[in-house]
């Protein structure tokens, strides 16, 4: 986590025409351990940056209470970095088609 923080500090220190490089992009820290037994429940995700204004910043969300799953976060990250469906709509169906689709609207700016 100290290395992640150091990287974020470096990204925040670089100026771009629209502000700090940190907010121009998205930096993600996560793992596959979740609750200690490699499950997909309560996987921690730390998102830093506004992805050019796509994401709300400065918040903590306990999305497990709303029964979101990993594919919801992955769909949201895809949208944040500019990936769209052929129609131009946000990707909301990444992953196993038998699982519910969608994005985390709480993260959308």
For residue 48, what are the CA distances in angstroms to 34, 39, 84?
19, 24, 21
Quote the tokens at residue 29.
Answer: 């820290």
pLDDT in tens, 2-58: 999 999 999 999 999 999 999 999 999 988 776 666 666 677 889 999 999 999 999
- Rounded CA gap, 62 and 10, in Å? 28
DSSP state of 55: B
Quote the distance between the C-alpha of residue 18 and its chain's center: 21
Q: Considering the entire predicted model, what is its pTM?
A: 0.85
Q: Which residues contact 41 (CB under 8 A, 6 or more apart)?
A: 34, 35, 64
| pLDDT score at 51 | 96
């Amino acid at each position: 986590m100290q290395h992640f923080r150091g990287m974020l500090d470096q990204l925040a220190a670089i100026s771009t025409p629209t502000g700090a490089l940190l907010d121009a992009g998205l930096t993600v820290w996560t793992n596959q351990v979740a609750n200690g037994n490699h499950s997909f429940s309560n996987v921690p995700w730390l998102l830093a940056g506004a992805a050019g204004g796509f994401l709300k910043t400065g918040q903590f969300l306990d999305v497990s209470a709303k029964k979101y799953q990993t594919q919801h976060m992955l769909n949201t990250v895809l949208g944040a970095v500019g990936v769209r469906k052929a129609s131009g709509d946000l990707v909301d169906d990444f992953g196993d088609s038998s699982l519910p689709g969608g994005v985390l609207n709480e993260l959308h700016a």
